[in-house]
Amino acid sequence: MPATFIVVPLWQGSISARAMSLADGAAAIQGDLPSSATVLVDVPVEAGESLGTGVQRYSAIRRVRERTEEALATVQGLPITIGGDCGASVAAVAHALRRSRGDLAVLWLDAHPDLNTPESSPSGGFGGMTLRAIAGEGADGLALDPQLSVAPDRLVLGGVRAIDDEERRFIDEHGVPTMTVEDLSDPTVVIAALEATGATQVFVHIDLDVLDPSALAGLSYPLPFGIGASELVALIRAVTARFPLAGAAIAGFAPRSPDSATDDLPTILRLVGALASAGADRES
């Protein structure tokens, strides 16, 4: 199943002062992807309005979700979504859920769990609510339908290093497995957590801030003590050797300049290649 790349230069879910550089990051990655296997989703230029939802730029984010779903509906092969901010993963997971008929675990590799709600979010940025929306909770039009969402017991967090109070409550209440950076260096630990969900297919989300800042300069929210690039590539290869990959996403590339983007791209393309090879390996 060859990979198709869905490029979603969404920036409106970020509240960083450098949010718009996320669109530049998606464009930089797109430049190294095969054009024949790449679909670009049109993201509005305007920021959008909250419309009383508690989500900053809600109207633009919702429009992008709808456009992303339309693009994904045309994909026959393995869809790999390239953000933009983490909000691009909502439509990608919804697509994977439909194709897997709900038989799906989500491996969320991110320095942040992204489990806030509009009520608990300290910023109103949708990026920090993305996984909660995937679990079926959040603003109308952004959260997945509870009948086709990912149950908390099928979420596996990896590399989180900054957790808000409501996110901690959700994790503790539902017993969401939370893998440390050290755990990620041992793929057998992560695979065991995924096996325990009972799902037979997996969606892998990678926010690049799961990496240590020494591995990648173009991060909006760099946090120390992340995983190394080689260890992350090895983890992806091990997970996708064990489970069919129903879909994947890479988010959070925010280069400061075209030159710095060029410096970071080899690392990002190694991750892209590890995900894309999962589809090729399954087909062969």
pLDDT at 97 over 70: yes
Can you give the three-state secondary structure of 188-221, one letter per residue? Answer: HHHHHHHHHCCCCCEEEEEEHHHECCCCCCCCCC
Q: What is the pLDDT of residues 43-62, one digit of tens each?
A: 999 999 999 999 999 999 99
pTM of the model: 0.97
Mean pLDDT of 95-119: 97
Q: What is the pLDDT of residues 70-89, one digit of tens each?
A: 999 999 899 999 999 999 99
pLDDT at 281 over 60: no
User: What's the angle, vertex CA 45, arms to CA 41 and CA 51, rounded to 5?
Assistant: 100
Average pLDDT, whole number, for the chain?
Answer: 96
Inter-residue contact 82 to 7 (CB < 8 Å): yes
Residue 284 pLDDT class (50, 70, 90 cuts): very low
Distance CA 21, CA 32 (A): 17
pLDDT at 219 over 50: yes
Q: Give the 3-state secondary structure of residue 122.
A: coil
Residue 245 backbone phi and psi in degrees, to 5:
-90, 115
- Confidence (pLDDT) at 203: 98
pLDDT at 201 over 50: yes
Mean pLDDT of 183-191: 98
- Confidence (pLDDT) at 176: 98
Query: Which has the closest alpha carbon to 204: 237, 168, 167?
Result: 237
Q: How many CB atoms lie within 10 A of CB 69?
A: 16
Q: What is the pLDDT of residues 145-171, one digit of tens each?
A: 999 999 999 999 999 999 999 999 999
- Confidence (pLDDT) at 1: 67
Give the sign of the dihedral formed by CA 193, CA 8, CA 29, CA 13: negative
- Confidence (pLDDT) at 282: 53
Residue 282's contacts (CB-CB under 8 Å, 6 or more residues apart) are 1, 78, 244, 245
Torsion of CA 124, 139, 220, 40, to 10 degrees: -140
Residue 258 pLDDT class (50, 70, 90 cuts): confident
Share of the chain above pLDDT 90, in %: 94
Mean pLDDT of 160-188: 97
Q: Which residue has the higher pLDDT, 260 or 126?
A: 126
